Amino acid sequence: MTMRDDYERWLDSTEAQVAKRPERQTEFRTTSEIPVERLYLPEHGVADDEYATKLGLPGEFPYTRGIQPTMYRTRFWTMRQYAGFGSAEETNARFRYLLEQGQTGLSTAFDLPTQIGYDADHPFSKGEVGKVGVSISSRLDMELLLRDIPLADVSTSMTINAPASVLLAMYLVVAESTGVPWSKLSGTIQNDILKEYVARGTYIYPPKPSMRLITDIFSYCASEVPNWNTISISGYHIREAGSTAVQEIAFTLSNAIAYVQAALDKGLKIDDFAPRLSFFFNAHNDFFEEIAKFRAARRMWAHIMKERFGAKNPKSLQLRFHTQTGGSTLTAQQPDNNVVRVTVQALAAVLGGTQSLHTNSRDEALALPTESSARIALRTQQILAYENHVGDTVDPLGGSYFLESLTSDLEARATQYIEHIDALGGAVAAIEQGYMQKEIHHAAYRTQLEIENGTQTVVGVNKFTSEEEEAPEILRVNPELGRIQTERLAKLRGERAVEPWRQSLDELHRAATATDNLMPFIVQAVRNYATVGEICDTLRDVFGEYRPPLY
Amino acid sequence: MANPIRVLVAKPGLDGHDRGALVVAQGLRDEGMEVIYTGLRQTPDQIAAVAVQEDVACVGLSSLSGAHMDLFPEVVQALRARGAGDILVIGGGVIPEQDIPLLKQSGIAEIFTPGSSIHGMAEYIRQHVAKASVLPPLTGRIDHIGIAVDSIAKSIAFYTEHLGLPLVHEETIPDDHVKVAFLQAGETFLELLEPLSEASAVATFLKKRGPGMHHIAYEVDSVEEALLRAQNAGYRLLDEKPRRGGHGKLIGFVHPAASNGVLTEYCQRIKEHAQ
């Protein structure tokens, strides 16, 4: 009897049983609406003759099973908790605390004024200074932020986009002033403006000059800061805005294609900058779909880089990514339950082969995390790594009939989306037409309706609710910080040498109207104590500001 | 069928997370309301201007950046400054439980935190916009108009002899270093104020501006509540708490900067004096 015959027999008897005692649902689907069958068989997985093209070996094309041959057997993923609030001094203290607790990389959150290129004393900054991240207006703040941190040994990730060039310049200038050569620096700037228009909202300039700033950074770092990851192309925020897993892959890779194309159009060579591209994904609730998502994204990127762009360097083909657990899955109700959600999401990221990981804190649906919540979040990763043996073999779920089937389904659906975006004229055009935004919004609204009508369960919110809940202790940012930062800025503006400061901003202005690479001018302005707001205003003057269409 | 309720969904401040705002906007539309969305990065003043221009009955504010304690009350103040204090203001986002009572005191009617249902929000809006105003009117009557004079004796003839108003009450208020005379003009009184020393605020007023209208006093049910409401609306107070004034009343003053250069007094009759 063949396995097929065996299966048919099993199916018949099972159907008879189901007729008597129905399954929980008439159909099962992933969050991307991919049907999930009752059972997966070898035929749904990867056939022996497809193995080499679909999976390959770890560290080899198409990298489905991982980008390194040994993965976590050599070194665990980097445990990189995103932190930042209040003043540079407070964040510096939190950084040093996290490093002491065994964290292996830094990740900086900036406040909204910094992210949108306003100094702390700007009227629009009112109420926002130090709230969602650290307030950085000048190189003096950056010096305080990085005080006593060994820049040559620690890799630093900075979640900064529209003014990424300015904050990177500040990091470089601080390294310079403390005698650390730029070749020793490693880290990442997010620098992904396209998803800001789509999902995150901290844009400044219109798409075209924004793309120029990004490619200027690619080119500058290729020669000056060779170990810096010049972009972290982010699906995270797209997913947080409500997209499905398929949309997360498709829109992220479409945006990535647009950056690569922009750099090529500028005359850069693919293998000069592509090895420094990195990615950032979400780890959401649908456990197997998430693991499959990471694997599908790796396979797709390898093909895109090889076939579409003709990259030769293996590093150009490898999709390296950071993962953060899904913030929007956290509930304000029964916040301790979030520890469990985060654990399962983190496990999905690890089984999906992430290079680094941020685990959210249980209280993030309420406020910024307290120190004790942040510690539990880090400990969650350490338990996964050191107690659960999940990293002892490479791609442990590879070959699972279900997982391989799901990986191929996600790939097929995401590829269709990318083809559609190509037909619209690429990611920039699709964003300008509001296409990605509308697709995400529809998915977000569907999720909301499903939660309200009970199709989707959120424990503690629409099922298993508790009446009595104690409000947990939360972190408060010093409300005086806006005033303190304003005074600090007034002092800086009063004490710096005016002539070199003025001259470097004038030169930046001239360069922006021409076609020079802007990075050297921005670095020079930072050296002369120009602030984030002053540099961004200089560029606003030339580039204008982005005004999103309302649709 | 009644006209649909018009709602403005707004994002004050720099926060770019608008998944919630967009989902609520669409959800309220599906509940039959007319919804306008401001887009990102609006100042409180811009939001109030759009609310008035679009004649909405409700403003829904969303912030996930922690700036709600600064920005939400400013929207309420900006609406009141435009005479649109009757617009229902509600809010949502990442807002700690502990902040909600303070926001409510500042005039935000309700806060919907993560996990709230849109249908619940819509029901809330329907029930609460029906009442024209969230707060009842503070006053319906001018109690008296205060006029600063150098000397009551020298000034009073105009009122008593020429206008024929009866002098109903005279009193010295040592705490304020003034002597006052009340004249009845229908349902309202005129209060002549004469300084008794240089320490009197009335003396300063006379020195700066000369004799003339000094303040308008509005009758209220509770001076304490009136002062609290003025403070919540962002008006500067001269008195934090009600105090004893002339003519057997509790009084409290609001800084003239709050009311176009005219000093404002709230006054409340005290029962025990109504003998």
Inside any domain, residue B1: no
Inside any domain, residue B134: no
- Tell me, yes or no, whether A234 and A347 share the same domain: yes
> What pLDDT, on a 0 to 100 scale, did the predictor assign at position B123?
94
Best of B19, B102, B111 to substitute, by most chain A Cβ atoms within 10 angstroms, is B19
> What pLDDT, on a 0 to 100 scale, did the predictor assign at position B249?
86
- Tell me, yes or no, whether A412 and A296 share the same domain: yes
B23 → closest Cβ in A331, A444, A474: A444
How many beta carbons lie within 10 A of that of residue B271, not counting itself?
8
Domain count, chain B: 2
Among residues A411, A408, A402, A413, the alpha carbon closest in space to that of A443 is found at A413
**Which residues of chain A are within 8 Å of residue B69 when distances are taken between CB atoms?**
127, 479
Inside any domain, residue A146: no
* Bond from prior residue into A58 cis (ω within 30 degrees of 0): no
On the question of pLDDT at B132 being above 50, the answer is no
- Tell me, yes or no, whether B19 and B80 share the same domain: yes
Final residue of a domain: which of B104, B129, B154? Answer: B129
Final residue of a domain: which of A398, A424, A452? Answer: A452
B96 → closest Cβ in A201, A333, A474: A474
Give dist(CA A492, CA A494) in Å, integer: 5
Which ranges in A322-400 belong to alpha helices (H)? 337-351, 371-386
- Tell me, yes or no, whether B87 and B16 share the same domain: yes
B115 → closest Cβ in A113, A331, A477: A331
- Tell me, yes or no, whether A441 and A532 share the same domain: no
Query: Across the interface, do B14 and A112 touch by the CB < 8 Å criterion?
Result: yes
> What pLDDT, on a 0 to 100 scale, did the predictor assign at position B140?
83
Q: What is the DSSP letter of A110?
A: B
On the question of pLDDT at B130 being above 80, the answer is no
Inside any domain, residue A61: yes
On the question of pLDDT at B51 being above 80, the answer is yes
User: Per-residue pLDDT for chain A (551 aa), expressed as one digit of tens each?
Assistant: 688 899 999 999 999 999 999 999 999 999 999 999 999 999 999 999 999 999 999 999 999 999 999 999 999 999 988 888 889 999 999 899 888 888 878 899 999 999 999 999 999 998 899 988 999 999 999 999 999 999 999 999 999 999 999 999 999 999 999 999 999 999 999 999 999 999 999 999 999 999 999 999 999 999 999 999 999 999 999 999 999 999 999 999 999 999 999 999 999 999 999 999 999 999 999 999 999 999 999 999 999 999 999 999 999 999 999 999 999 999 999 999 999 999 999 999 999 999 999 999 999 888 888 889 999 999 999 999 999 999 999 999 999 999 999 999 999 999 999 999 999 999 999 999 999 999 999 999 999 999 999 999 999 999 999 877 777 787 778 888 889 999 999 999 999 999 999 999 999 999 999 999 999 999 999 999 999 999 999 999 999 999 887 65
**Which uninterrupted H or E stretch holds B148?**
strand B142-148
> What pLDDT, on a 0 to 100 scale, did the predictor assign at position A551?
55
> What pLDDT, on a 0 to 100 scale, did the predictor assign at position B1?
46
Final residue of a domain: which of B108, B129, B150? Answer: B129
- Tell me, yes or no, whether B200 and B249 share the same domain: yes
> What pLDDT, on a 0 to 100 scale, did the predictor assign at position B274?
40
- Tell me, yes or no, whether B21 and B100 share the same domain: yes
CB A390 within 8 A of CB A396: yes
**Which residues of chain B are within 8 Å of residue A131 when distances are taken between CB atoms?**
65-67
How do residues B57-72 score in pLDDT, each as one tens digit?
999 999 998 899 999 9
Secondary structure, 3-state, A394-439: CCCCCCCHHHHHHHHHHHHHHHHHHHHHHHHCCHHHHHHCCHHHHH
- Tell me, yes or no, whether A365 and A425 share the same domain: yes
| Interface ipTM above 0.90 | no
B117 → closest Cβ in A331, A452, A479: A452
- Tell me, yes or no, whether A202 and A264 share the same domain: yes
Query: Across the interface, do B97 and A471 touch by the CB < 8 Å criterion?
Result: yes
- Tell me, yes or no, whether A362 and A505 share the same domain: no
* Six token digits for residue A253: 């890779």
Domain that holds residue A528: 490-543
A-B contacts at Cβ under 8 angstroms: 99
Residue B248 confidence class, pLDDT cut points 50, 70, 90: confident
Domain that holds residue B89: 6-129
Query: Across the interface, do A366 and B94 touch by the CB < 8 Å criterion?
Result: yes
- Tell me, yes or no, whether B180 and B264 share the same domain: yes
On the question of pLDDT at B247 being above 80, the answer is no
B23 → closest Cβ in A445, A462, A548: A445
CATH of the domain at B31: 3.40.50.280
- Tell me, yes or no, whether B101 and B220 share the same domain: no
Mean pLDDT, residues B101-106 taken together = 92
- Tell me the shortest Cα–Cα distance from B111 to chain A, in angstroms: 13
- Tell me, yes or no, whether B146 and B92 share the same domain: no
On the question of pLDDT at B251 being above 60, the answer is yes
> What pLDDT, on a 0 to 100 scale, did the predictor assign at position B135?
62
CATH of the domain at B250: 3.10.180.10
**Which residues of chain A are within 8 Å of residue B39 when distances are taken between CB atoms?**
548, 550
Q: Which residue of B has its CA nearest to A460?
A: B115
Query: Across the interface, do A445 and B37 touch by the CB < 8 Å criterion?
Result: no
Specify the length of chain A in residues. Answer: 551
Domain count, chain A: 2
- Tell me, yes or no, whether B153 and B116 share the same domain: no
Inside any domain, residue A151: no
Inside any domain, residue A379: yes
> What pLDDT, on a 0 to 100 scale, did the predictor assign at position A2?
84
- Tell me, yes or no, whether B18 and B116 share the same domain: yes
Query: Strand, coil or helix: what is B36?
Result: strand
Query: Strand, coil or helix: what is A230?
Result: coil
Interacting residues of A225 by C-beta distance below 8 A, sequence separation 6+: A172, A182, A183, A185
**Which residues of chain A are within 8 Å of residue B19 when distances are taken between CB atoms?**
240-242, 328, 444
Q: CB distance from A10 to chain B under 8 Å?
A: no
CATH of the domain at A256: 3.20.20.240
> What pLDDT, on a 0 to 100 scale, did the predictor assign at position B133?
44
Inside any domain, residue A142: no
> What pLDDT, on a 0 to 100 scale, did the predictor assign at position B246?
72
Give dist(CA A4, CA B100) in Å, integer: 62
Query: Strand, coil or helix: what is A155?
Result: strand
Q: Please, what sign has the CA dihedral across residues B227, B231, B236, B237?
A: positive
How do residues B189-242 score in pLDDT, each as one tens digit?
999 999 999 989 999 999 999 999 999 999 998 898 888 878 766 788 899 889
On the question of pLDDT at B275 being above 50, the answer is no
Which ranges in chain B belong to alpha helices (H)? 19-30, 44-53, 68-81, 100-105, 118-129, 152-157, 201-209, 223-232
Give dist(CA B275, CA B196) in Å, integer: 29
> What pLDDT, on a 0 to 100 scale, did the predictor assign at position B26?
95
Best of B14, B61, B117 to substitute, by most chain A Cβ atoms within 10 angstroms, is B14
Final residue of a domain: which of A426, A452, A478? Answer: A452
pTM of the model as a whole: 0.81
- Tell me, yes or no, whether B59 and B112 share the same domain: yes
CA of B144: how far to CAs of A368, B71, B219, B263, B268, in Å? 52, 37, 8, 12, 12
Q: Phi/psi of residue A245, each to 5°?
A: -65, -40
> What pLDDT, on a 0 to 100 scale, did the predictor assign at position A471?
73
Inside any domain, residue A147: no
Inside any domain, residue A13: no
